[in-house]
């Protein structure tokens, strides 16, 4: 029999999964939701455990060599797979870059434009990420329709009552860095929430301080951070 069964250079189309995985090279997305934030570690069964709050002590079921990471979870449209997916970000470099775009007067809300994340290198020490925004334009109709049809909630990522029921063991190990990490991430949350409330994105500490005072009646100080967040949620 002559001829090929399949055309030359044929590849099976990639289908979208529920979670996005960064591929080497360019990964282009449209962010479609505000981030859900929390803390994540992997347990001894090789499964992720996601918590709303940073635990006071080291969980007894945390995998050896594992660290607790701050994560963002967002609904995105993945242009590579042409599918609506959940993008989980634990890389602080990516979080900081998106936060900078959100705070920029030139860019603002990252749901208003596409973002390309370029992944290069391999291994924990050598992998690098570069973030590039695209010119602003409305999301395509089929993307918005897919989002509207999606009934999943990002809050489902958290185990039911995980914060209260997590096994801490008989003797927990204090996490000395907890307070500094929490304060840093809480400040990021304040910036994102404030930028979502104002028309023009803010860029300076003075602007954020004035916005905090206007929206919450509280000055932007470390001591007031928990109360500010409570009023913004």
- pLDDT value at position 29? 95
Do residues 208 and 194 lie in contact, with contact meaning Cβ atoms separated by under 8 Å? yes
Token duo for residue 76: 């995105």
187 in the same domain as 85: no
Same domain, 113 and 193: no
Q: How far apart, in whole angstroms, are the C-alpha atoms of residue 113 and residue 143?
A: 13
More confident position, 67 or 190: 67
Cβ-based burial of 131 (10 A; exposed 0-12, middle 13-18, buried ≥19): middle
Q: Do 146 and 192 have their domain in common?
A: no
Within the chain, residue ranges assigned H as helices are 92-103, 123-126, 141-149, 162-165, 178-197, 205-216, 225-232
The pLDDT-based confidence of 85 (bands split at 50, 70, 90) is very high
Indicate the average pLDDT of the chain.
Answer: 78
Do residues 67 and 164 share a domain? yes
pLDDT at residue 8 is higher than 80: no
Domain count, the chain: 2
Looking at the structure, tell me whether residues 25 and 97 fall in a common domain: yes
Mean pLDDT is lowest, of 83-87, 150-154, 215-219, for 215-219
Contacts of 187 (CB under 8 A, 6+ apart): 225
Same domain? 78 vs 182 = no
Q: Is residue 4 located within the same domain as residue 79?
A: yes
Average pLDDT of span 19-31: 92
Q: How far apart are the first and last CA of the chain?
A: 68
Q: Report which of 122, 128, 117, 149 is spatially closest to residue 31, judged by C-alpha positions.
A: 117
Backbone φ and ψ for 44, nearest 5 degrees, come out as: -70, -10
pLDDT of 215 higher than 50: yes
Same domain, 189 and 124: no
Return the SS3 of 93. Answer: helix
- Confidence (pLDDT) at 116: 97
Task: Please report the pLDDT score of residue 218 as a whole number.
Answer: 77
Residues 137 and 183 in one domain: no
User: Residues 158-175: pLDDT tens digits?
Assistant: 864 344 334 434 334 444
Residues 158 and 224 in one domain: no
Do 22 and 79 share a domain, yes or no? yes
Instruction: List Cα–Cα distances, 211 to 183, 184, 203, in angstroms.
Output: 19, 19, 11
Q: Which two three-digit tokens encode residue 147?
A: 């989002």
Q: 3-class SS at 45? A: coil
**pLDDT score of 214:** 75
The answer, yes or no, to whether residue 210 has pLDDT greater than 90, is no
| Mean pLDDT score, 71-91 | 93
Which of these ranges, 11-20, 74-83, 187-196, has the smallest mean pLDDT? 11-20
End residue of a domain, out of 123, 140, 174: 174
Q: pTM above the 0.75 mark?
A: no
What are the helix (H) ranges across 104-173?
Answer: 123-126, 141-149, 162-165
- Domain, as residue range, for 11: 1-174
77, pLDDT greater than 50: yes
- pLDDT interval class at 47 (50, 70, 90): confident
pLDDT of residue 141: 94
Burial 140-179 (b: 16+ CB within 10 A, else e): eeebeebbeeeeeebeebbeeeeeeebeeeeeeeeeeebe
Looking at 174, 195, 213, which one is the last position of a domain? Answer: 174
Q: Does the pLDDT at position 149 exceed 50?
A: yes
């Amino acid at each position: 029999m002559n001829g090929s069964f399949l055309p030359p250079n044929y590849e099976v189309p990639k289908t979208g999964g529920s979670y996005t995985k960064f591929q080497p090279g360019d990964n282009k997305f449209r962010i479609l939701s505000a981030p859900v934030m929390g803390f994540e570690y992997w347990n001894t069964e090789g499964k992720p455990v996601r918590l709303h709050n940073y635990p006071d002590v080291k969980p007894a079921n945390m995998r050896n060599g594992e660290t607790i990471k701050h994560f963002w979870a967002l609904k995105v449209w993945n242009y590579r797979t042409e599918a609506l997916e959940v993008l989980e970000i634990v890389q602080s470099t990516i979080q900081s870059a998106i936060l900078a775009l959100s705070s920029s007067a030139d860019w603002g809300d990252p749901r208003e434009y596409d973002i390309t994340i370029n992944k290069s290198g391999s291994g924990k020490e050598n992998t690098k990420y570069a973030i590039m925004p695209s010119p602003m334009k409305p999301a395509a109709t089929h993307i918005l329709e897919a989002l509207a049809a999606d009934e999943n909630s990002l809050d489902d990522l958290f185990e039911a009552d995980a914060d209260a029921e997590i096994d801490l063991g008989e003797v927990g190990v204090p996490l000395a860095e907890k307070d500094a990490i929490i304060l840093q991430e809480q400040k990021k949350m304040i910036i994102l929430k404030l930028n979502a409330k104002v028309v023009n994105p803010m860029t300076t500490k003075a602007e954020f301080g004035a916005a905090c005072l206007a929206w919450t009646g509280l000055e932007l100080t470390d001591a007031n951070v928990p109360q500010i967040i409570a009023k913004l949620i």
